[in-house]
Amino acid sequence: MRFDLMRRATQWILLAILSMGVQATAIARGPVVQALVGATLIDGTGRPPIEDASLVIADGRITAIGRRPDVKVPSGAHVVDLHGKYLMPGMLDANVHLFFGVTIDALIRYDDRYEDVIAEAAQVALKNGVTTVFDTWGPRQELTRVRGQIAAGQRQGSRIFLGGNIIGLTGPTSTDFYNYRTLLGKAEADRIDARWEQGAGPELLWLTPDNVRERIRAYIRSGHVDFLKYASSGHAQEQFIAFSEAAQKAIVDEGHRAGLTVQAHSTSPESLRLEIEAGADLLQHCDATGLAEMPEPTLTLIAEHKIPCAALFETQKHLAWVLAQDGEQSDGYRSAHIKHENDRRLVAAGAMLLMTTDAGVLPADIKEVPKFSAAVSGDDLPIEMGQGHFRWLEAASELGMKPMDALEAATINTARAYHQSAEVGSLEVGKRADVLVLSADPLADPDNYRRIERVMKDGQFVDIQSLPNPRVLTKP
Amino acid sequence: MRFDLMRRATQWILLAILSMGVQATAIARGPVVQALVGATLIDGTGRPPIEDASLVIADGRITAIGRRPDVKVPSGAHVVDLHGKYLMPGMLDANVHLFFGVTIDALIRYDDRYEDVIAEAAQVALKNGVTTVFDTWGPRQELTRVRGQIAAGQRQGSRIFLGGNIIGLTGPTSTDFYNYRTLLGKAEADRIDARWEQGAGPELLWLTPDNVRERIRAYIRSGHVDFLKYASSGHAQEQFIAFSEAAQKAIVDEGHRAGLTVQAHSTSPESLRLEIEAGADLLQHCDATGLAEMPEPTLTLIAEHKIPCAALFETQKHLAWVLAQDGEQSDGYRSAHIKHENDRRLVAAGAMLLMTTDAGVLPADIKEVPKFSAAVSGDDLPIEMGQGHFRWLEAASELGMKPMDALEAATINTARAYHQSAEVGSLEVGKRADVLVLSADPLADPDNYRRIERVMKDGQFVDIQSLPNPRVLTKP
Amino acid sequence: MRFDLMRRATQWILLAILSMGVQATAIARGPVVQALVGATLIDGTGRPPIEDASLVIADGRITAIGRRPDVKVPSGAHVVDLHGKYLMPGMLDANVHLFFGVTIDALIRYDDRYEDVIAEAAQVALKNGVTTVFDTWGPRQELTRVRGQIAAGQRQGSRIFLGGNIIGLTGPTSTDFYNYRTLLGKAEADRIDARWEQGAGPELLWLTPDNVRERIRAYIRSGHVDFLKYASSGHAQEQFIAFSEAAQKAIVDEGHRAGLTVQAHSTSPESLRLEIEAGADLLQHCDATGLAEMPEPTLTLIAEHKIPCAALFETQKHLAWVLAQDGEQSDGYRSAHIKHENDRRLVAAGAMLLMTTDAGVLPADIKEVPKFSAAVSGDDLPIEMGQGHFRWLEAASELGMKPMDALEAATINTARAYHQSAEVGSLEVGKRADVLVLSADPLADPDNYRRIERVMKDGQFVDIQSLPNPRVLTKP
Amino acid sequence: MRFDLMRRATQWILLAILSMGVQATAIARGPVVQALVGATLIDGTGRPPIEDASLVIADGRITAIGRRPDVKVPSGAHVVDLHGKYLMPGMLDANVHLFFGVTIDALIRYDDRYEDVIAEAAQVALKNGVTTVFDTWGPRQELTRVRGQIAAGQRQGSRIFLGGNIIGLTGPTSTDFYNYRTLLGKAEADRIDARWEQGAGPELLWLTPDNVRERIRAYIRSGHVDFLKYASSGHAQEQFIAFSEAAQKAIVDEGHRAGLTVQAHSTSPESLRLEIEAGADLLQHCDATGLAEMPEPTLTLIAEHKIPCAALFETQKHLAWVLAQDGEQSDGYRSAHIKHENDRRLVAAGAMLLMTTDAGVLPADIKEVPKFSAAVSGDDLPIEMGQGHFRWLEAASELGMKPMDALEAATINTARAYHQSAEVGSLEVGKRADVLVLSADPLADPDNYRRIERVMKDGQFVDIQSLPNPRVLTKP
C-alpha cells in the first residue's frame, strides 16, 4: 500500500527551488508591483469567495490578498480596477499531449518543428485559462526545451510539467497508436518513436522487475522529467496488463527514490487495482474501466484514501453522439457509458478528482482525414485542446459535482496531486500569480468558465489575442 | 508456489475410471489376445531397449512385456512376428488445434462440419504415430463430440483430451487472431467466436479475481473439458499480460478443485514467471519469451522443480528460412532465435520437456491465400499436423537432447504432465496398448521416427493407409 | 448507328415460342378459365383506365378485356369480384441481381445453395409485384436452372430473363467488386468468379476486337443467356472505358446475329456515347455519368431515338441522406446529384425510361458488417429487392414524370426494350396474365403501388404471404 | 493515321533556338576550345567507329570531327589525349521520373524541397552517362524551374525535357498510384496531386472530346511543357482504356498545333492500338501489353512505320527474380514474360526502339518500407535511376539487338523521337558536345557502358565524383 508521501517533502521543496531558479529570469517585464482590486475572488482552496477583493502581486508572486479594506496596496503599485469581474486561479490540466502527433502528415511535416508545435499547444491552453499543464506522453527532448523556453520567458505558453513517455508503451507509429509502420522505413519509424520512448518503451515489457528498475533509473538520470507515468495496461489493447505488479512496484519505488510523483495509465479494473497496490501517486483516467464497471472495493479505496484520480469526464451531449454513432451495443458506447457511471459514483463518493482532458491540438484538417474523421467529428469532443477543459467542467456539473469542488478539481487538486501546491493551484500569498479574470461567476454556471477576459501568468497579463503565434497545426 | 499435486490423486483416479467407461465400448473389434514378438522394444520409461521382446495385449491393454524367453504368450493369442522392427509407445502431442479455423473460407464453409474437420485432423495425427493429442484451443462442443465418437470407436482418430478455449482469449475472428470482424456481421462473428470461448473469453479480462473464479466454475460445470488452459499473456500482443497474478491463482485453484490440470499460455518472461507463481501445472510454450531471453532464475525454477515445459522446438532449417525471410534485425527472427537459445538452455539444464507443436491441418490451398502465404511457406513448418512432431524430434536432436530423453518427451513426459500416465505414454503392463511399429531405430536417428509401418491404438492395428477419411481440408 | 432491330424479328418470335415451350408445363394448376371483374383496369399501354372492367384469362393468358358490359365471361369461368380495386400489369425490373453475392459470408456459406438464394430473391420480387426480372450480372448456370424451374412451375418466383456476366468484368471477389482475393486461395477465388464470368470475364479486355468477337460467339453458344450485357466502362473505376468502340461493335454485332438484345454498362459520358455509337439496344443506368453531367447531344440522341434508358432514380430522401453522410463536396454526393439532374433532364426530354433498381436481396445482417454498414444504412436505399422499385416510382413522381408514364416505365417500356412485349408488360389479349390487384389507384399516388393485395402470374394467383420460402438470406 | 511531322519543323527550330537562349548562359566556364584526341569514337548515327579520332569543341558545340589526320585542331585549343579510350554521345533516357514521390514520407518531408530532389535525380542520371532525360510524370512547376536552373548553369544535372502530368491520370496520392488518401486531409491530398495534375488530371476523363480539347489548350498555354503525354490506358487498372479514341485524337491534334510531340501511356493491346490510330508520336512502354501478347498487325504497324517505341527491357536475371517471387501462374510474371516476348519480336522486326527506364531515385530506405519492400528488392531492378539504363542495355544484348542498334536506341533514336536530333543524340558537327569517355568498348560488351571515366555535357567535363550534391533521397 501507499499514501504517505510526506517523507518526500524535502526533496520536493528542493526541486521546487531549483525549478524556480530556472523560471526566475522570466519575471521582469511588467510592472513590479500590481494590485487587482474590486473583483470577486475565488481563491481555489474551497474558501468562500471574497467580494470586492484586493490581490497584490510583486515579482510574479502574490504578496497580499483579502477584502479591499483589509489589504494595503503599496504605493507605486499599478492598480487594475476589476469591479464586476471574477478572479480565480489559473487552471491546471492533469493530462495533455502538447505534441499529439496523430496524423502521419504532422509527424513528418513538422519533423524539425516539434518545439513550435508544442509551444503552439501550450499557448492554446494558456489562452483558454489553463496556466499549467502536465504533459503525459510526448517527445521528451523537445518538451524539455519548450518547458525551459517558457520558464525563461523566451516563449509564451502554459507552464509545462512533463513525464516523457508512458513507460512501457511505444511512440506514435506502432499498432498500439496510429499504425504507420507499413508506410515507413524501419529506421525512420524507430527514430520517430524514439523521440517518445527515450529508452523506456515497449522493450521494458520483456524485462524482469529488476531489469525494469535499472532501466527506469537510467531513464530518470538521462533526462529531466518532472514525474513518471507508466503503463499499467496496454493502450490499444485496453484489457491487457502491461507491467506485472512486481515491475510496477519497482517503477514506483525508483520514481520515489528520485523524488518524483509516479502515475499510471490504466484502462481496466485489474490494471487500476494493480497500480493502486503498486503505490501510484496519481491514477490517470481512473474512471476508464472498459467493459466492466469499477469494482466497489476499488472505488472505496480511491475515495477513502483520497488517491488523486484524473477522470475523463464527458458531457451528455458527447455521450449522445457516441450512442448515435456507434449504437447501444457497441463496445465504444458501452465503455463510454460505464465510464460515465464510474464518474457519477466517484463524484458521489467524494473522491479527489482532477480535471484531465488528454487533449492536444489536432491538425486543422483532421476531420477531412478518413482515418480519423469519424473519431474527431463528435459533439463536445473532450480531447480538443483549449475546449476540452471547459467541456470537462460542464460535465462535472451534469455529474452533480458541487461548483466549488469542480473548481478545485480544475485548480488546487491537480497541484496537490503533482506536489506543486506550494507554487500553483490557488491564490494564496507566496504563490505564483496565475490569475484568470472572468466576466461572470464560474460557480454560478460552468459555462462562465469560458468568459475569460484576461489571463495573468507569473504576475504578467498575457496578450491572449495574439496566441497562438506562430500557428502551425492551427493554421487554417 | 505449486508442485504437490498428489493430494488430487484420488480425484484423478476417479476421472480415469469414468473416462475408461466411456471408451470401453470401442475395444471389441480385433483379436482379443495378441502378441507382438521379436522386435526391439523401447518402452518409453527410459529403460534400455529390450531386444527380441514380446508384448502381449488383451482387451486393448498390455498384459505382459519382456524378453521373449521371459514372456509366456497365452495359447490362442494372435502372434505377430516383428523381427527386425522397433516398437515404441504411441506418441503424445502436448498442444494441437484439431480445428485450426485459420482461413475465413474454412470457418464459414465448414460451419456445419467442424466435427468432420476435427476428426480428419485426429486421423492425420494418428496416421503419423501420434496416438494421443491434447487440444488446447478449439470449438469445445464439437471437440467434445468427436472425443466421444473416437472413444466409442465410432470414428477413427488420435485419442483426444481437450481444454476448450484459452481462457481470457477470443475465438478466431478477432484482431487477436485472424481479424475477420470487418467482413462479418457482429452477431455472426460473435457466434463463431462463441464456439471457442464458451463463456470464458475476453470478457473475463475485465473482471475481478473473484468474479473470474465464478466464471471458471461455471465454465467447468457447463462442459466436459479435460484440463484448463488460460492466457497468462496476450496472443497477438505477446508482451502484454492477460490475467493478473491474483486472477491466475483463482483460475488454477478452481481447476484444481475440479481435479483438472491447469496450464497457461505465456509469451514473455513476466507472464511465464506469473504463471509459475500462480501454480500452473504445465507451461505451454515456455520457451517463447519474445524479445528477451528466459531469465536465469525462471530457468532454474523450471528445471529444478521439473515443471512440465511444452517447448516449440524448431529445426535449424526452419530458423534459416525465418532469417532469410525476415532478416536478422526483424522481431520475427530475433524472437525465433531467442526461443532457440532458450531451448538449448532448457535441454542443457535437464528440464522436463514435452513435445508440442501447436499443429493443425491447414487448408490445402492456404499457401495460395495472400494473407497467409508468407507465414506458411517456410521450410520445416512446425505447425503442420502430421509433420510437425517429426520436425520437433529432429530439432531435439540438433539441440543436443539425448535420444532417449527426446523419446520420453514425445511419450511419457506429456502423459505425466497431464496426469494420464496410468493410461498412456509408455509400454507397461496395465496400460493401453498404443504401439508404433517402426522399421528402423528411432534412437539411432530422429529421422527414423518417420519410418512408421504400423500403428496400434487400444490394442487394434489401424488401417493408416485409409486415413484421413473423409477428407475435408486435405482434399486437394 | 443503330435502331433497326426489326430484321431480327423472326429470330425473336422463334425464341419466344421455344421459351414458351419450356414454360408451358407450369400452367395447369389453377382454374382453367377465370374472370376478374369490377375493378378499374390500367392496361400498361398508356390507354386511359377502364372502370368496372372485366379481364378474362384462360390457360394463363388473357383472352378478353374491356368494360364489363362489353366482355362476355365464358360459362364455367371462375369469377373474382374486384369492385373497388385496381388492376395493372405485373411490373418488370430492368436490372436486378438475384444473387448479389456481396458478403464473403454469403459467397462461401451458400456455395452450394446459390439456386435457393436466387429463387428467394425472385420470390421477394414477385411478392412485391415485380412479375418479371432481368438479371444483369450473376452466376449463369444457377440462374439458368432457376429460370427453368420457375418457368416449369417447380419453383415460385418472378419470371427471369438473364444476361450472365457483364462481359469484360469480373465475378465478385476482385477489386472491381468486393475485394476478397487476399483472403482466398487463388483457385478458390477463380472458381467463384468463374460462376459469373463463364468465359466472358476481364481477360476479354486484353483481346483484339476480332478475338473478342470469337469469345462472344463461344459465350453465346455455350449457354442460355436471354440477352447480352457488356462493360462500356469499368465498375469500381467508373471513369475508365472497358471495351474500345471497335470491340463494342463486335459484341453488339455478335449479339444481334444470335437474336439477342445487347445492353451496356456505362458510368461516364464517353462510355455512354461509345455504347450508343456501338448500337447497344438498352443503356443500363444511362443516367450515371459520374462527375460530369450528361452532354446535351447525348441526351438529345437518347430522347429522339427513344433508346431504352434504364435510369437509377433515387428519392429526395435518399439524396438527402447521401448529402448528410458524405458532404456536399464529396464525389459520392456530387455524382448522385448529377445523376439526379440527368434524371430530371431525361424526364423533361421525354426519353424512353425503364424502371431499374440494380436490386438484390442483401443478407439480413449486412448493416452489421463494418465493410458495408455505411453503404447500406441509408434512407430509401434503392438496391433493396422488394422495396427499390417502389422507391423508384416515388422518385419518378418527384422528378415530374406523369403518373401514366411512370407506370409504363415500370411495365411496357422494359418489355419492349427487351423485345418481350408480345408476352408481358401490358394487359392485352394474347399476353401472359401477369396482373396486380391494388387497393388504391397507383396513378393517384405513387405510394399506392405498395398497396398490393394480390399478385397473379401466368394466370395463377400467387400465395404471396408464404414467400419467400425457403428463407436463406432473409432468415432473421 | 500519322507519321509526317515534318510540317512542324519550323516550329521546332524556333523552339530549339529559344531554349538555346536560355541555356547560353551556362556555357562560359571551361576552356572555349577543346580537342579530344586519340580515342575510338562512336558517333551514335550508326556509322562505323572512327579509330584515333579527333573531336573539336567550341562554345559547347562540336565544330569538327573525324580521323585525327583529317581534323585540324585550332591553335590554342585545350587538347585532351584519350588514347585507348572510347567516345560516344551522352545517353538519353526516354522516360524518367525525377521526382518519383513514391513514399508518403518523401512526399511530405520534402514538400518544400521538390526542386532539390529533382536536381539530385538529374545529377544521378548525368553521373551515369545520361546527359538528357525526358520526364514523363512529375510536378510540373518544380521540374520547370530545375530545367531552367540546369540550362542556365545554376545547377548541375542531366538536361531535362518535361511533359508534366500523364494527362487524364492523377498525382501520387490516389488509388491509381500509392493510395495515401485515407491518411491525408482531402485538401492536402488534392494540393499534392495538383502539383502533378496541373489541370490535366482525372477530371478530363469525364469530359467530351471537345471539352478535353479545350482543357489541353489551356494546359499547354499555362505552362512550359516540352511535350505531351496522355493516358491511353489506366495506370493501376492496366486493362482499362482512359481516353476514348475521339478524345485521344483531340489531344494529339492540340499538341501538334502547339508544335509539341505527343506520346501516350498504354498497357494493353487495345489502348496501344488506339493511340497509334490517334496519331501519337511516341509509344511509351509499347511493349507492355499485359496479359495478352502484342497483336501481329500492331507489331507490323510499329515496325514498318518506325513509330518510336520506348520499350521497358528487363534482364533475364530480373525476370528470373519475378518468377521466383511471384510464381509462373501469377499475373505479375505472366505479364513480364509477355512483355519480354514482345521485346524479342520488336527487336526481330526492326522496330525503332528507344531506351526507356521509368526510373527515379528511390528513397534510401525504401527496401525497409513494408508497403514497397517486395516490389523494389528484385535483382536488376529496371527503375533504379543511374542503374536502370545499364540494365536496359544488357537486356538489349540478351534480346539479340545488335550492339550498334542498342547504342542508337540509347542515343539518337530518342533524340529523333522527341524532335531533338538537331541538338543532341549523336556526335556531329553543330550539335551540343555531350560526350562520354569510356575505358572499354561498349559495342564489344554491354557491360562496358558502365566503364564511364568522364562525362562531358555542353562541352564541359562534369565533376561526376561530387554528384549528387546535395544529397536528399540518397542520403544514407
Give phi and psi for B100, each to the nearest 5: -75, -35
Chains that touch D (3 or more CB pairs under 8 A): A, C
The confidence band for D4, taking pLDDT boundaries of 50, 70 and 90, is very low
Q: C180 vs chain B: nearest CA distance in angstroms?
A: 9
Query: Of the candidates B2, C225, B17, D165, which has an alpha carbon nearest to the alpha carbon of residue D174?
Result: D165
CB D417 within 8 A of CB D308: yes
Element (H, E) at D107: helix D104-109
pLDDT > 90 fraction of chain C, expressed in percent and rounded: 90
CB A236 within 8 A of CB A242: no
In tens, the pLDDT along C377-395 reads 889 999 999 999 999 999 9
Res A18 pLDDT > 90: no
Tell me the average pLDDT across C351-361. 97
Query: Of the candidates C135, C121, C145, C11, which has an alpha carbon nearest to the alpha carbon of residue C361?
Result: C121
Cell of D215: 482543357
Under 8 Å CB-to-CB from B362, ≥6 apart: which residues?
Answer: B100, B102, B376, B383, B384, B385, B473
Check CB contact under 8 Å for C183 and B368: no
Cell of A84: 464586476
Query: Of the candidates B377, B378, B372, B410, which has an alpha carbon nearest to the alpha carbon of residue B394?
Result: B410
Q: What is the DSSP string of B173-216?
A: TSTTTT--GGGS-HHHHHHHHHHHHTT-SGGGGGS-HHHHHHHH
Q: Is A404 on the interface with B (CB under 8 A)?
A: no
Res C466 pLDDT > 50: yes
3 state DSSP class of D261: strand
Check CB contact under 8 Å for B241 and A241: yes
Pairing of strands C227-231, C261-265: parallel
Q: Estimate to the nearest angstrom the gap between the alpha carbon of A220 and the chain centroid.
A: 20
State in Å, rounded, how far the first CA of chain B is from the last one: 50
Q: B339 vs chain A: nearest CA distance in angstroms?
A: 13
Which carries the bigger pLDDT value, residue C470 or residue B404?
Answer: B404
Query: Of the candidates A123, A108, A138, which has an alpha carbon nearest to the alpha carbon of residue A358?
Result: A138
Res C427 pLDDT > 70: yes
Q: How many other CB atoms sit within 10 Å of the CB of residue D15?
A: 17
CB C330 within 8 A of CB C365: no
CB C372 within 8 A of CB C286: no
Under 8 Å CB-to-CB from A205, ≥6 apart: which residues?
Answer: A168, A242, A243, B239, B240, B268, B270
CA gap C331, B118 in Å, rounded: 49
CA gap D17, B183 in Å, rounded: 62
Check CB contact under 8 Å for B237 and A234: yes
D448 DSSP assignment:
G
CA gap C392, C157 in Å, rounded: 21
pTM of the model: 0.91
Q: Is D369 on the interface with A (CB under 8 A)?
A: yes
Check CB contact under 8 Å for D104 and A109: no
Q: Which amino acid is at C9?
A: A
Query: Of the candidates C92, C104, C154, which has an alpha carbon nearest to the alpha carbon of residue C129?
Result: C92
Cell of C70: 362489353
Nearest residue on chain D to A370, alpha-carbon basis: D182
Give phi and psi for B229, each to the nearest 5: -135, 130
Stretches where chain B sits below pLDDT 70 are 1-31
DSSP-assigned beta bridge partners for residue D45: none
pLDDT for the residue C14: 38
Q: A317 vs chain D: nearest CA distance in angstroms?
A: 26
Average pLDDT over chain D reads 93
CB C215 within 8 A of CB C200: yes
> Which ranges of A186-330 would DSSP assign to H, the alpha helix?
186-197, 209-222, 245-257, 269-278, 296-304, 316-326
Check CB contact under 8 Å for C183 and B105: yes
> Which ranges of C289-364 would DSSP assign to H, the alpha helix?
296-304, 316-326, 331-349
The confidence band for D30, taking pLDDT boundaries of 50, 70 and 90, is low
> Of C208, C237, C273, which has the smallest distance from its Cβ to D269's Cβ?
C208
CA gap A230, A237 in Å, rounded: 15
CB A413 within 8 A of CB A352: yes
CB C116 within 8 A of CB C374: no
CB A167 within 8 A of CB A231: yes
Cell of D346: 520488336
CA gap B466, A101 in Å, rounded: 61
Lowest mean pLDDT among A428-437, B372-381, C192-201, D124-133: B372-381
Q: C14 vs chain B: nearest CA distance in angstroms?
A: 43
Chains that touch A (3 or more CB pairs under 8 A): B, D
pLDDT for the residue A31: 65
Res C1 pLDDT > 80: no
Nearest residue on chain C to D210, alpha-carbon basis: C295
CA gap B192, B200 in Å, rounded: 14
Query: Of the candidates C341, C294, C292, which has an alpha carbon nearest to the alpha carbon of residue D203?
Result: C292
pLDDT for the residue C31: 64
Cell of B81: 512376428
Check CB contact under 8 Å for C105 and B103: no
CB D109 within 8 A of CB A109: yes
Res D140 pLDDT > 90: yes
Q: How many other CB atoms sit within 10 Å of the CB of residue A376?
A: 15
Q: Is D101 on the interface with A (CB under 8 A)?
A: no
3 state DSSP class of C302: helix
Say whether the peptide bond before residue B295 is cis (omega within 30 degrees of 0). no
CA gap B364, B408 in Å, rounded: 32
CA gap B318, B312 in Å, rounded: 12
Q: How many other CB atoms sit within 10 Å of the CB of residue B48?
A: 9
Cell of A59: 515579482
The confidence band for A30, taking pLDDT boundaries of 50, 70 and 90, is low
Check CB contact under 8 Å for A368 and D187: yes
CA gap A140, A161 in Å, rounded: 11
In tens, the pLDDT along C398-408 reads 999 999 999 99
Counting every residue, how long is chain D? 476
Tell me the average pLDDT across D91-108. 95
Task: Give contacts of D187 with chain A, Cβ < 8 Å.
Answer: 365, 368
Q: How many other CB atoms sit within 10 Å of the CB of residue A281?
A: 24
DSSP E strands, B280-394 = 282-284, 309-311, 353-355
In tens, the pLDDT along D310-323 reads 999 999 999 999 99
pLDDT for the residue B223: 75
Res D178 pLDDT > 50: yes
Give phi and psi for A143, each to the nearest 5: -60, -40
Tell me the average pLDDT across A147-175. 97
Query: Of the candidates C466, C345, A290, which has an alpha carbon nearest to the alpha carbon of residue B204?
Result: A290
> Of C206, C246, C273, which has the smallest distance from its Cβ to D268's Cβ?
C206
Res A347 pLDDT > 70: yes
Res C4 pLDDT > 80: no
Res A27 pLDDT > 70: no
pLDDT for the residue A224: 85
Task: Give contacts of D205 with chain C, Cβ < 8 Å.
Answer: 239-240, 268, 270
Chains that touch C (3 or more CB pairs under 8 A): B, D
pLDDT for the residue A476: 80
Report the sign of the C-alpha dihedral through residues C24, C27, C32, C37, in that order: negative
CA gap C11, C14 in Å, rounded: 5
Starting from the edge strand earliest in sequence, which strands make up the sheet with C91-96, in order?
C91-96, C130-135, C159-162
Res A457 pLDDT > 90: yes
Q: How many other CB atoms sit within 10 Å of the CB of residue D5?
A: 14
Query: Of the candidates C385, C442, C433, C384, which has an alpha carbon nearest to the alpha carbon of residue C408?
Result: C442
pLDDT > 90 fraction of chain A, expressed in percent and rounded: 90
Which of B182, B183, B186, B362 to probe by mutation at the C interface, max C CB count within 10 Å?
Answer: B183
Check CB contact under 8 Å for B188 and C105: yes
pLDDT for the residue D29: 57
Starting from the edge strand earliest in sequence, which strands make up the sheet with B282-284, in order?
B166-167, B227-231, B261-265, B282-284, B309-311, B353-355
pLDDT for the residue C17: 38
Helix axes D316-326, D388-398, angle to 10 degrees: 100
Res D12 pLDDT > 70: no
In tens, the pLDDT along D284-303 reads 999 999 999 999 999 999 99
CB C305 within 8 A of CB C351: no
